[in-house]
């Protein structure tokens, strides 16, 4: 995807490049979306890109400030949107719409369903997602094992 600057905002969305990780990691830490301790490292990003994923970055054209991200991964059935967010200093400027529109354009190219998770107290994000057609999937809890050494085996 070629980065095209939105002339009304002075921002563009582009693909992740090697060398972006430090800025992206700081963005994720500042927004509470991720942290290297959670497995959010450059090796993981590059692995998901090799498997057909994308990490889209919202960048201010003038300053080259990376101020937003949308990480798209796929399992071959669905595209999952992770780490979608904007730095607090850049929020409230409708930049999330620019990032979401580019994200959904990428999803549409795959022909797959799209799914995301959002904390139930993040009402701004929930409202944004609903505007773009996302529907609440249902009443279920999400569980995860991040540390594979904690996988328990069943007694025979």
Flag whether pLDDT at 156 surpasses 70.
Answer: no
On the question of pLDDT at 146 being above 90, the answer is no
On whether the pTM is more than 0.85, the answer is: yes
Domain 5-150: state its class.
alpha beta
DSSP per residue over the chain, as a string?
Answer: ----EETTTTEEEEE--TT-HHHHHHHHHHHTS--GGGT-SHHHHHHHHHTT-EEEEEEETTT--EEEEEEEEE-SSEEEEEEEEE-GGGTTSSHHHHHHHHHHHHHHHHT-EEEE---TT-HHHHHHHHHTT-----S--------GGGPPPPP-
Q: Is the pLDDT of residue 104 over 90?
A: yes
pLDDT, position 20: 97
CB-CB contact of 103 with 70 (8 Å): yes
pLDDT digits (tens, 9 = 90+) for 18-64: 899 999 999 999 998 887 677 789 999 999 999 999 999 999 999 99
- Looking at the chain, the whole-number percentage of residues with pLDDT higher than 90 is 72
Distance CA 5, CA 12 (A): 4
Q: Where are the domains of the chain?
A: 5-150
At 140 the pLDDT is: 79
């Amino acid at each position: 995807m070629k980065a095209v600057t939105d002339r009304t905002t002075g921002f563009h969305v582009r693909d992740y490049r090697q060398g972006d990780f430090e800025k992206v990691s700081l963005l994720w830490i500042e927004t509470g979306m991720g942290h290297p301790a959670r497995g959010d490292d450059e090796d993981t990003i590059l692995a998901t890109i090799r498997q057909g994923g994308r990490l889209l970055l919202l960048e201010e054209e003038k300053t080259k400030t990376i101020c937003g991200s949308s990480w798209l991964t796929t399992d071959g059935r669905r595209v999952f949107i992770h780490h979608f967010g904007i730095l607090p200093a850049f929020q409230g400027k409708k930049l999330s719409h620019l990032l979401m529109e580019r994200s959904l354009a990428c999803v549409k190219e795959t022909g797959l369903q799209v799914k995301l998770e959002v904390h139930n107290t993040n009402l701004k994000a929930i409202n944004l997602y609903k505007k773009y057609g996302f529907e609440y999937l249902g009443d279920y809890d999400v569980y995860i094992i991040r540390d594979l050494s904690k996988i328990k085996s069943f007694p025979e």
